Chains A and B, each alone.
Chain A
Amino acid sequence: AQSVTQLGSHVSVSEGALVLLRCNYSSSVPPYLFWYVQYPNQGLQLLLKYTSAATLVKGINGFEAEFKKSETSFHLTKPSAHMSDAAEYFCAVSGGTDSWGKFQFGAGTQVVVTP
């Protein structure tokens, strides 16, 4: 079985400050990990993904995430927040022959960016 925990349902950051969104996972096999972003009234858009290559993954809009197996984490960061980063962010895990192709999503983290 696999599961995802996102710490913090709401995060408020100042424009220009570091954005850090936490994601921890559990999986019985090496996972594939994904971060998606959902802007208001839109679907989910892929930000970045870890698929067993480099552990530091760079995505769109200046975001990156680091896979840490020892900590079972895949935290999302951006050095300097922009107003346009206000959105909801979802971490997801997939993997294993019994769950290949199926995602388990975290509950999401709503990011608010203040001027």
Chain B
Amino acid sequence: DADVTQTPRNRITKTGKRIMLECSQTKGHDRMYWYRQDPGLGLRLIYYSFDVKDINKGEISDGYSVSRQAQAKFSLSLESAIPNQTALYFCATSDLGGQSDGTQYFGPGTRLTVL
């Protein structure tokens, strides 16, 4: 079974709809991240969480919100989707431990299309 799972894997929605993307992990990591990938731009950080009570904005948080329901779950919401939020979204996790080098482990991605 995959260590980092994302649901749904694909979603098509309409402008103005509320959308939630979910991420779950079984790696026992404290840190979780949401990125979006656009062609030619690489991955850009939307939000990150270093523990359940810690939520931080990334470089492109406008139009997004997150919820860290538990150590293993981190959800990304688009309150009112717009077409330029069409992208591939990735969740990632990393360890906080003293021996950790911060390696991030990625889920398979969610392809979101906003019409």
Contacts and interface: CB of A to CB of B under 8 A. Distances in A.
Contacts of B58: 102
Nearest to A108: B42
Contacts of A94: 102
B87 interface: no
B45 A107 contact: no
Interface string A57-84: 0000000000000000000000000000
Contacts of A46: 103, 105
Interface in A70-111: 90, 92, 94, 100-103, 105-108
Contacts of A114: none
A115 interface: no
Contact of B45 (A43, A103, A106, A108): A103
A45 B2 CA distance: 12
For chain B, which range describes its interface: under 10, 10 to 19, 20 to 34, or 35 or more residues? 20 to 34
A32 B48 contact: no
A92 B105 CA distance: 13
A42 B48 contact: no
Nearest to A34: B103
Interface stretch (B12-20, B74-82, B106-114): B106-114
Interface of A: 9, 32, 34, 36, 42-46, 49, 51, 90, 92, 94, 100-103, 105-108
